[in-house]
Chains A and B, each alone.
Chain A
Amino acid sequence: MLEIDRIPTWVTDKIKEAGIAPQLAARCDRTREQEPGEVFLLADLQSLYVLDRESRPLEQYPLRELSNIAVEEQRSTGRLLARFREDTVLLASFTNFCKESVLLFVKYLKRLAQGEPIEPDPKDLPSSKCCPKCGMPYPDLNRRICPHCMEKGKLFRRMAGFFAKYKVSLVLILVSLVVLTAMSILTPYFSKGFFYDEVIDGAGPFYGEILLVLGLVIATRLLKMLATMVNNWITSSVAAKMVYELKKTIFHSIERLSLSFFSGRQTGGLMTQVNEDANTIYEFFCDGLPYLIVNIVQVVVLTVLMAVIQPLLALLTLITVPVFFFMMRWVYRNEKKLHARRFSGSRQLNSLLSDVLSGMRVVKAFSREQQEIDRFTVRSETLAESDRKLSLFHNYAGHISGVVLYLGTIISWAVGGWMVITGYGGLTYGMLMTFIAYVGMIYSPLHFFSDMMNRSADCTNAMQRLFEIMDAQPDVCEPEHPVRPEVLGGSVEFDNVSFSYIKGKRVIDHVSFSVPEGGVLGIVGHTGAGKSTLANLLMRLYDAEEGEIRVGGIPVRELAFSSLYQNIAIVSQETYLFMGTILDNIRYARPDASYEEVIEASRCAGAHEFIMKLPDAYHTRIGFGYQDLSGGERQRLSIARAILKNPKILILDEATAAMDTGTERRIQEALARLIEGKTTIMIAHRLSTLRDADALVVIEHGRVAECGTHRELLQKEDGIYKKLFTLQMEALRSAGIVE
C-alpha cells in the first residue's frame, strides 16, 4: 500500500475489520464539517473509502461511477470534491498542511480508476517528506532542507574548496596578521615594561641606553606598518577577484536554469541576493575568518602573558571579561533589532515615495495631494522615531560597555598599584604599566567574538542559498545526443500535449493541432486560457508533461537547443529591450548582421523612420536613464529583431495588443511582411487581427474547444468563436470603431 501519510493502528484495525486491502492512503486533518479531527482517505482498484473518525463506519464509493475528483481551494483550507454519476459529493476537508498529501492522493487515485497499478514516485513517499536524520517533517516541501540538521561543516568545507586557489594569498593575509599582532603585543613591553624597569631604572642592565629603546620602538612600529601594508595590499587585490568570481559563479548557475526555477521564486530578490550573498561570503572568509584566528591567538597569548606577569592580578582583572562578553552580545542583539526596524521603516518610506512619484498623474487627477502628504508624514515620523531610538541606544550602550571595560583597568590600577608598593609577587612599576596596556588590548577581540556568531549565521545562510542555486537541476535539458538537422523543416505539430505549472492545475490539457510549413495558425482564447503557455512549450522554456511537440517532424525534446532556437523567433506583447544602443538591440539575435541588413530589417519593421529622428540614430542609447521609446516603437524594434533573425517559425504573442489603431495598422503591415513564407503562430484576443490566418484554434480552459477557418467557425451555431466575434464587434460598434 502506498501510504502518502503514515496510518495509525486504529485505521489498520478498521481496514481489517472491513476486510478490504486498500492500495492508497492519505490523511486529512479536518472532519467533513471542518472541525479538527483525523479523517483518512483510502482506495483500492474498485472503491474509494472515507474513514471519518474512529467512531463512524467506513464509507464506500465505487470508482467506476466516479467521473471526476478535484480539490477546491478555500482560504486556509481545502475540500476534496468528487462527482459520482451526476452528483457532486464532499468527501473531505483539510487545512493546507495536508493539501500536498490530498493532491497526491488524487493523482494516484486517477491512475487507480483507470486500472493502472501504482508506481510511486520516490519523491511522493512519506519518508521523503521528513528529514532522514531527525525525522522532523521539512518545513517547506519545495526546499527539502532540515533547519536542525543542516550540515554546516559540509557547507564550509565546500566553500573552502572554492577558495582553494587563493590559498597562498590567504596564508599571506594570515601571516601578516600574526606579525601585526605580535608587534602590537611587543610595543607596550618595549615602551613601558622594558623602558621603565631596565633602561631608566638605575639598577637595570640597559641603564641609560635610551637610543636602544628608541630603536626598538621604531623598529616594531615600522614592522607593524609594513605588515599592515602587505595585508591591505593582498586583501584588496584578492577581494575584488574573489567577489567577482563568486558573482560569476552565481550568475552562471542562474542562467543555466530553466524558466520554472524563476517562476517559483521572486526574481527581484534573487538578483539582490546574488550581490549581497557574494559580499557576505567574501567578508566572512577573507575578513572574518583570518581575524577570528588572529584574535583567538591574541587572547590566548595576552592571557598567558598577563598570568606570567602576575597571576593573581590577571585573575582579578579577567573577572570582568565574561561580563563584558555577555554584555556585548546583548548590545548586538538589540542593535540588530533596532537596525532591522530602522531598515523596515526606511523601506516603507521609500516604497511610498516611489509609489507616489510614479503615480503622480493619478494623485493630481484625483486631487489626493493632502492625503499623500499625510501618509508620507506618518511614515516619515516612524522612521525618525526608530532613528532616534537607535542613536539613543548606541549612546548609552557605548557608555555602559565603556564602564565595564574601564572596570578591568581600574582593578589593575588599584590592585596592581598596591602590589607594586608592597612589593607583592615581585611586580615592578614597568611591568604593571605593560600589564595595564594588555588589559586594554584584550577587549577588542572579545568585541569581535560577540558579533562573530551573527556573521557566521549570515554566511551560512548565504552559502546555503548559493549552493541551492548551484545544485538546482535545470528541468529542461538538452538530450545526450541531440539531433542537429542541417535544415530544419518549418512544420509545427502539437500531439496530445498536457502541461501544468503547479501540480494539480492543468493549464494545457491534451491539446493537438498542426501547422504545415509556411502556414498561419491563429490561437484564440481569453486571458489565462493557456495561449502563451503553448508558445512557451514550443520554445521549450518548459517541457510538456504528456504528449509530444514536433518541429519539422522532429520532437523538440530531441533537437539540439541551437537548432531549435535558431529557427524560432517570438514577438510578444512585452518587448524587452536591453540597455544599450538600438543597433545592439536589433542585432541581439544575430550579432554578426551587417549594417545593410540591420537597416533593411528596421525598414521592413517600419522602425527606420523613427530611428532616424532620434539624436544618435542607430547609436541612440536606450534603457534606464536614456532615451525613452513609446510602446509602438519598442514593438517595432522587436519586430526588426525578429526579421533580422529570419527564422523558420515565428510566434506572435499578442504582438499588437495595447496599441492605438494607427500604430497597430503600421505594425500589422510590418508583421505582414515579416510572416511572408514563414510558419506563423499568432496568438491574440483581438480577433480582427486573425482574419488572415489559414486556420484558427480556440483554446478554452487549456483545451482545444473549436478549430477551423474564420469562415467555418462563424458558421457554427452557438460556437465560442462566433460568440466572441459578435461580442467584440458589438463592443467596437458601441465605441464607434467599426472595422
Chain B
Amino acid sequence: MDDFMHGRPGPGRRESRERDGEKHGAPARSLDEISKTVWLTPENAVFSSRNGLLWLTLDGKETRVILCREFPFDCLWEYISVLDEEHRELGIIRSTGLFAGETRELLENELRRRYYAPEVLRILSVKERYGFSYWKVQTPEGEVRFTLHDTYRSIQRVDAGRIVFSDVNGNRFEIPDVSKLDAKSQRRLELYL
C-alpha cells in the first residue's frame, strides 16, 4: 500500500512540517522561491469540488488542497493558506471575498467544515471527579457531554471573551463571548478561568 498520507502531522505540529516541506519540496526550490508568497486570485487559481474534496488548478496543474486559516481566531475569511496533501503551501488567498459566487461559497463551506467546533450556548452541569471534569452543555445541535482532563489547562482563554475547550477526545468547543452567557452558566464556568 503506498502511503500518500503517512505521518500526517496533527494541527499542532504543522509549522515545523511546513518548514521541512520547503527544504524537501520536489522539485527543489531555491531560497528565493521559498520566501516568495504566491497570492491566489481568480486570475491565477481555479477551485473546484470533486468527490467531496476541494481541488485547485494552478499553472495548469490540478491538486487536491486543504485550506488553513493563518489567523483562525480573528480572520475567518482572510489569509487562507492553501496546502497540498503533504502540507506544502501552494499559495495564500488574501480574502475569500476576492472570489465571486460559487467559488466563494465553495471555499467558505470548506473552511466552515474544517474549522467546525460546536458553540456552547449553555452549560447545563459540571461535575468534577478524580482529576477529570464532566461537562453537559447545550449546543445548536443539541445536548453534548464531554470530558476534560486537567480542566484548567483544557480551557483556553483566547481573547477577552472567547473560550475554547479541548476535550480528551480532541474535540473543540467554543464560547464566542463569555459575558453573553446566562448567569448560571457563567457561575459554573467561572471557577476554571
**Which residues of A come within 8 Å of B, CB atoms?**
32-34, 36, 66-68, 70, 72-77, 81, 83, 87-90, 93, 95-97, 99-100, 110, 113, 139-140, 142, 145, 147, 150, 266, 269, 337, 340-341, 344, 460-461, 464-465, 505-507, 509, 526-530, 700-702, 720, 723-724, 726-727, 730-731, 734
Contacts of B35 in A (CB 8 A): none
- What total count of A-B pairs have CB within 8 Å? 147
Q: Which 10 A-B pairs have the closest CB atoms?
A: A90-B52, A139-B147, A526-B20, A70-B5, A96-B170, A76-B172, A140-B168, A723-B28, A96-B171, A147-B129
Complex Cα distance A526/B19, Å? Answer: 9
Complex Cα distance A371/B62, Å? Answer: 48
| CB <8 Å contact, B8 and A76 | no
Contacts of A66 in B (CB 8 A): 1
When A32-B52, A74-B114, A76-B117 are in contact, do A727 and B28 touch as well, CB less than 8 Å? Answer: yes
Judge whether B104 is part of the interface by a CB distance below 8 angstroms.
Answer: no
Judge whether B71 is part of the interface by a CB distance below 8 angstroms.
Answer: no
Complex Cα distance A266/B153, Å? Answer: 11
Select the stretch in B10-18, B92-100, B177-185 that faces chain A.
Answer: B10-18
Contacts of A465 in B (CB 8 A): 131
Contact of A526 among B4, B11, B13, B24 (CB under 8 A): B24
| CB <8 Å contact, B117 and A75 | yes
When A75-B115, A461-B130, A720-B24 are in contact, do A337 and B191 touch as well, CB less than 8 Å? Answer: yes
Contact of B169 among A97, A341, A461 (CB under 8 A): A97
Complex Cα distance A269/B53, Å? Answer: 42
| CB <8 Å contact, B7 and A34 | no
Contact of A75 among B11, B20, B51 (CB under 8 A): B11
Contacts of A341 in B (CB 8 A): 190-191
When A75-B114, A506-B6, A702-B6 are in contact, do A527 and B20 touch as well, CB less than 8 Å? Answer: yes
Contacts of A701 in B (CB 8 A): 3, 6-7
| CB <8 Å contact, A36 and B141 | yes
Judge whether B37 is part of the interface by a CB distance below 8 angstroms.
Answer: no
Binary flags per residue of B101-121, CB closer than 8 Å to A gives 1, else 0: 000000000000111111000
Interface class of chain A by DSSP: mixed
Complex Cα distance A272/B23, Å? Answer: 41
If A73-B10, A528-B16, A730-B31 are given as contacts, then 11 extra A-B residue pairs at C-beta distance below 8 Å, sorted by A number, are A36-B141, A74-B113, A75-B114, A88-B53, A88-B64, A89-B52, A139-B147, A147-B129, A461-B131, A702-B7, A720-B24
**Which residues of B come within 8 Å of A, CB atoms?**
1-11, 13, 16-17, 19-20, 23-24, 28, 30-31, 51-53, 64, 66, 85, 113-118, 127, 129-132, 134, 141, 147, 149-150, 152, 167-173, 190-191, 193
| CB <8 Å contact, A100 and B1 | no
Complex Cα distance A68/B130, Å? Answer: 41
Contacts of A96 in B (CB 8 A): 167, 169-171
Contacts of A74 in B (CB 8 A): 113-116
Contacts of B23 in A (CB 8 A): 526, 724, 727
Complex Cα distance A450/B116, Å? Answer: 45
Complex Cα distance A464/B51, Å? Answer: 48
| CB <8 Å contact, B168 and A139 | yes
| CB <8 Å contact, A140 and B191 | no
When A74-B115, A88-B53, A528-B20 are in contact, do A68 and B2 touch as well, CB less than 8 Å? Answer: yes
| CB <8 Å contact, B150 and A266 | yes
| CB <8 Å contact, A528 and B24 | no
| CB <8 Å contact, B114 and A344 | no
* Residue among A727, A730, A731 with the highest chain B CB neighbour number at 10 A: A727
Complex Cα distance A67/B4, Å? Answer: 9
Contact of B147 among A75, A140, A507 (CB under 8 A): A140
Contact of B13 among A95, A344, A528, A723 (CB under 8 A): A528
Contacts of A530 in B (CB 8 A): 7
When A95-B171, A147-B132, A337-B191 are in contact, do A509 and B6 touch as well, CB less than 8 Å? Answer: yes
When A87-B51, A701-B6 are in contact, do A77 and B113 touch as well, CB less than 8 Å? Answer: yes
| CB <8 Å contact, B130 and A147 | yes
| CB <8 Å contact, A269 and B150 | yes
Task: State how many angstroms separate the Cβ of B158 from the closest Cβ of chain A.
Answer: 13
Complex Cα distance A730/B1, Å? Answer: 37
Contact of B1 among A67, A72, A99 (CB under 8 A): A67
| CB <8 Å contact, B116 and A99 | no
Task: State how many angstroms separate the Cβ of A52 from the closest Cβ of chain B.
Answer: 11
| CB <8 Å contact, A139 and B132 | yes
| CB <8 Å contact, A140 and B149 | yes
| CB <8 Å contact, A75 and B172 | yes
Can you list 11 A-B contacts (CB < 8 A)?
Answer: A68-B4, A72-B5, A72-B66, A76-B172, A81-B53, A139-B147, A269-B150, A464-B130, A528-B16, A727-B30, A731-B31
Identify the closest chain B residue to A727 (Cβ).
B23
Identify the closest chain A residue to B1 (Cβ).
A68
| CB <8 Å contact, A507 and B4 | no
Contacts of A734 in B (CB 8 A): 31
Contacts of A527 in B (CB 8 A): 16, 19-20
Task: State how many angstroms separate the Cβ of A461 from the closest Cβ of chain B.
Answer: 5
Contacts of A77 in B (CB 8 A): 113-114, 116
Task: State how many angstroms separate the Cβ of B172 from the closest Cβ of chain A.
Answer: 4
Complex Cα distance A622/B171, Å? Answer: 44
Complex Cα distance A461/B132, Å? Answer: 10
Contacts of B167 in A (CB 8 A): 96
When A81-B53, A341-B191, A731-B31 are in contact, do A70 and B170 touch as well, CB less than 8 Å? Answer: no
Task: State how many angstroms separate the Cβ of B55 from the closest Cβ of chain A.
Answer: 9
Contacts of A75 in B (CB 8 A): 11, 114-117, 172
Contacts of A73 in B (CB 8 A): 8, 10-11
Task: State how many angstroms separate the Cβ of A625 from the closest Cβ of chain B.
Answer: 28
Task: State how many angstroms separate the Cβ of B176 from the closest Cβ of chain A.
Answer: 15
Contacts of B4 in A (CB 8 A): 67-68, 70, 83
Complex Cα distance A686/B170, Å? Answer: 36
Complex Cα distance A66/B13, Å? Answer: 28
